[in-house]
């Protein structure tokens, strides 16, 4: 046997947690490098009746990769990328193993197709996230407003089925009844949070990369002006291949402060100027396109619109080209990164503290309504928090920033309260981060019995021994034997 299974000793403690700061326990861990090793490890675990928790880059923020006992299978060593793009029916397809990171994928695509030729649009902003993790959590990120769901860029998946055989499923191949409607089988694994099995290879759909890129940060002295500006941009829509606003992000002052505090320690953004203290909020946007002139014109239109909302051209940062845009994107990314650092340091003092962030889309709310609601809720609860996120696709994140364990518990109550409110008003309570373990209780409280029963039925069908990812989404340990 080639497989290596290690006891979960001190050396592997980091593998018991992820970016949510939720932590768990396990008896053993493995780092398979091939499908054959995966098969052997699974056979051994099945034989012992041991459950398996799957991990990619452990950058998830709902504890999906955190084990609740059993074995941890970390896929970071399954990280090879095919050396050419296959063209099939006009589509550019690239096969990758699940442990490839987003950063490595981007580098490899550039190497294979040439700089600026092709790209894989899903971008949950965290470069160390793995393709397997992104697909399994159905992560989206900033540019989904224009580019759409991650599922649109996954053509086929290989996974290990319950008979111990590797199966490739291609988009459009087979429909399954789920939640009362027929869905493409592949879409059960995308966003399935690993509960139906391990993905061992993904065929990704690449698209032409934009040849012209702009990034602009607009800073406002008044957050109402900022929100009104962003809302107008949202209503105007994205654009087309020639020139489109692909990213539209709102960032409040508290979020700016938290990122600025970490900025000196972040090499990729530390040379950016400080944001003047009078600025109360900002919008970050990206414009992608194929025509220099059309992109410049669109940037000009946005500058004009921002001036109508009392943001002068001196209150903007604009950068062009891949490198420049990457820098501004890194500043936006510094916000959640810094929030996570804050929570991590608090959780070191008070074990049990985890990230408290919303991931919801209120029905019929503008971004202005959503920010008002979040601010009011924080004020009423006497808690601090920051608000940032995807204004374009209508889901802003509120992250609660507790100072101690008491505030953490109040924060959890607040999170449950606003999520319930969203669901009761017909909104979507969980849009892109998944449920994992952190939001499992909330999910159970909001989902009807019928919904949970349907997930359990599918789980039993595809994973009859309940081997994969125990505790994710639904507490399958409570399932009675059939
Ligand atoms: C700073 C920061 C910012 C972020 N911003 C965004 C954002 O804007 N939008 C967004 O959507 N997300 C965001 N995320 C979260 C994002 O969802 C995760 O980073 C990413 O999707 C998870 O990838 P991973 O490889 O780290 O997966 P992990 O955390 O390791 O795992 C995630 C889930 O996938 C499962 N899994 C992993 N590999 C496999 C496999 N091969 N087969 C089956 N299941 C598998 C795991 O069991 C787990 O349930 C952010 C995270 C961070 C840290």
Q: Are 195 and 465 in contact (CB under 8 A)?
A: no
212-337: which CATH number, 1.10.1200.10, 3.40.50.11540, 3.30.360.10, 3.30.70.2190?
3.30.70.2190
User: Which residue's structure tokens are 């056979």?
Assistant: 43
Distance (Å, rounded) from C-alpha 139 to C-alpha 151? 10
Is the torsion defined by CA of 466, 468, 473, 475 positive or negative?
positive
CATH architecture for the domain at 350-438: 2-Layer Sandwich (3.30)
Task: Give yes or no for residue 75 CB within 6 A of ligand 1.
Answer: yes
425: alpha, beta or left, given left = phi > 0 and alpha = psi -120 to 50? Answer: alpha
Residue nearest atom 39 of ligand 1, based on CA coordinates: 132
Q: Are strands 28-30 and 71-74 parallel, antiparallel or unpaired?
A: parallel
CA distances from 316 to 231, 248, 259, 299 (A): 18, 15, 18, 12
Per-residue pLDDT of the chain (482 residues; tens, 9 = 90+): 556 999 999 999 999 999 999 999 999 999 999 999 999 999 999 999 999 999 999 999 999 999 999 999 999 999 999 999 999 888 999 999 999 999 999 999 999 999 889 999 999 999 999 999 999 999 998 999 999 999 999 999 999 988 899 999 999 988 887 878 899 999 999 999 999 999 999 999 999 999 999 999 999 999 999 999 999 999 999 999 999 999 999 999 999 999 999 999 999 999 999 999 999 999 999 999 999 999 999 999 999 999 999 999 999 999 999 999 999 999 999 999 999 999 999 999 998 899 999 999 999 999 999 999 999 999 999 999 999 999 999 999 999 999 999 999 999 999 999 999 999 999 999 999 999 999 999 999 998 888 898 999 999 999 999 999 999 999 987 766 55
Domain boundaries defined on the chain: 86-208, 212-337, 350-438
Distance (Å, rounded) from C-alpha 146 to C-alpha 116? 18
Residue count (the chain): 482
User: Which residue's structure tokens are 């493995």?
Assistant: 30
Q: Provide the whole-model pTM.
A: 0.96
Q: Are 9 and 26 in contact (CB under 8 A)?
A: no
Backbone angles phi, psi at 390, to 5 degrees: -85, 90
Whole-number Å distance, alpha carbon 308 to ligand 1 midpoint, is 39
Q: Are 410 and 395 in contact (CB under 8 A)?
A: no
Q: Which is the closest atom of ligand 1 to the Cα of 200?
A: 41
Backbone angles phi, psi at 467, to 5 degrees: -90, -35
Distance (Å, rounded) from C-alpha 43 to C-alpha 279? 58
Distance (Å, rounded) from C-alpha 224 to C-alpha 309? 9
Q: Are 280 and 226 in contact (CB under 8 A)?
A: yes
Task: Give yes or no for residue 139 CB within 6 A of ligand 1.
Answer: yes
Distance (Å, rounded) from C-alpha 150 to C-alpha 134? 8
* Token digits of residue 14: 């980091």
Whole-number Å distance, alpha carbon 313 to ligand 1 midpoint, is 37
Whole-number Å distance, alpha carbon 236 to ligand 1 midpoint, is 31
Task: Give yes or no for residue 97 CB within 6 A of ligand 1.
Answer: no
* Token digits of residue 84: 């050419």
Which has the closest alpha carbon to 66: 465, 450, 456, 440?
A: 440
CA distances from 189 to 154, 159, 170, 397 (A): 11, 9, 12, 25
Q: Are 423 and 446 in contact (CB under 8 A)?
A: yes
Whole-number Å distance, alpha carbon 415 to ligand 1 midpoint, is 21
| Radius of gyration for the alpha carbons in the chain, expressed in angstroms and rounded | 22
Q: Which is the closest atom of ligand 1 to the Cα of 197?
A: 43
Whole-number Å distance, alpha carbon 129 to ligand 1 midpoint, is 6
CA distances from 281 to 218, 252, 383, 389 (A): 9, 4, 19, 12
86-208 and 212-337, same CATH topology: no
Task: Give yes or no for residue 470 CB within 6 A of ligand 1.
Answer: no
Q: Which CATH class is domain 86-208?
A: alpha beta
Q: Are 314 and 224 in contact (CB under 8 A)?
A: no
Q: Are 64 and 15 in contact (CB under 8 A)?
A: no
Indicate the DSSP class of residue 263: G
Q: Are strands 91-96 and 181-184 parallel, antiparallel or unpaired?
A: unpaired
Task: Give yes or no for residue 124 CB within 6 A of ligand 1.
Answer: yes
Q: How far is CA 135 from the centre of its chain?
A: 9
Whole-number Å distance, alpha carbon 94 to ligand 1 midpoint, is 20
Distance (Å, rounded) from C-alpha 65 to C-alpha 336? 19
Task: Give yes or no for residue 18 CB within 6 A of ligand 1.
Answer: yes
CA distances from 237 to 44, 248, 316 (A): 53, 10, 21
Which has the closest alpha carbon to 292: 212, 209, 216, 215?
A: 212
Q: Which residues have a Cβ under 8 Å from the Cβ of 110 and sit 6 or more positions away?
A: 116
């Amino acid at each position: 046997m080639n497989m290596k299974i290690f006891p979960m000793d001190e050396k592997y403690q980091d593998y018991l947690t992820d970016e949510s700061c939720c932590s768990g326990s396990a008896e053993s861990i493995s780092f398979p490098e091939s499908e054959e090793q995966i098969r052997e490890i699974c056979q051994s675990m099945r034989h012992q009746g041991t459950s398996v928790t799957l991990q990619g880059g452990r950058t998830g923020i709902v504890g999906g990769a955190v084990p609740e006992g059993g074995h941890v299978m970390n896929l970071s060593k399954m990280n090879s990328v095919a050396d050419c793009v296959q063209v099939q029916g006009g589509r550019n397809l690239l096969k990758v193993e699940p442990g490839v990171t987003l950063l490595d994928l981007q580098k490899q695509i550039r190497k294979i197709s040439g700089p600026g030729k092709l790209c894989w649009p899903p971008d949950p902003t965290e470069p160390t996230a793995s393709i397997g993790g992104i697909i399994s959590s159905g992560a989206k990120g900033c540019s989904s407003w224009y580019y759409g769901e991650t599922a649109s860029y996954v053509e086929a998946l290989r996974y290990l089925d319950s008979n111990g055989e590797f199966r490739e499923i291609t988009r459009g191949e087979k429909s399954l009844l789920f939640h009362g409607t027929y869905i493409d089988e592949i879409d059960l694994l995308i966003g399935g949070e690993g509960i139906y099995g391990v993905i061992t290879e993904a065929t990704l759909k690449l698209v032409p990369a934009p040849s012209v890129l702009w990034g602009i940060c607009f800073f406002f002295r008044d957050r109402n002006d900022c929100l009104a500006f962003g809302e107008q941009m949202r209503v105007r829509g994205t654009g087309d291949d020639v020139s489109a606003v692909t990213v539209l992000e709102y960032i409040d002052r508290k979020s700016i402060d938290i990122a600025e505090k970490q900025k000196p320690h972040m090499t990729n953004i530390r040379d950016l100027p400080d944001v003047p203290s009078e600025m109360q909020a900002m919008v970050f946007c990206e414009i992608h396109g194929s025509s220099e002139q059309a992109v410049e014109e669109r940037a000009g239109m946005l500058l004009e619109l921002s001036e109508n909302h009392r943001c002068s051209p001196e209150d903007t940062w604009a950068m062009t080209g891949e490198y420049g845009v990457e820098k501004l994107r890194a500043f936006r990314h510094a916000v959640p990164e810094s929030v996570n650092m804050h929570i991590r340091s608090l959780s070191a003092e008070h074990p049990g503290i985890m990230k408290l962030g919303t991931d919801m889309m209120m029905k019929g709310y503008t971004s202005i309504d959503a920010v008002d609601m979040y601010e009011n809720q924080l004020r009423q609860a006497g808690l601090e928090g920051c608000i940032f996120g995807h204004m374009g696709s209508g889901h802003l994140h509120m992250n609660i920033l507790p100072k101690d364990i008491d505030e953490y518990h109040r924060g959890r109550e607040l999170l449950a309260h606003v999520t319930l409110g969203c669901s009761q008003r017909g909104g979507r309570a969980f849009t892109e981060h998944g449920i994992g373990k952190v939001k499992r209780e909330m999910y159970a409280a909001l989902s009807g019995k019928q919904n949970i029963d349907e997930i359990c039925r599918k789980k039993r069908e595809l994973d009859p021994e309940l081997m994969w990812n125990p505790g994710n989404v639904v507490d399958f340990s409570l399932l009675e034997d059939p």
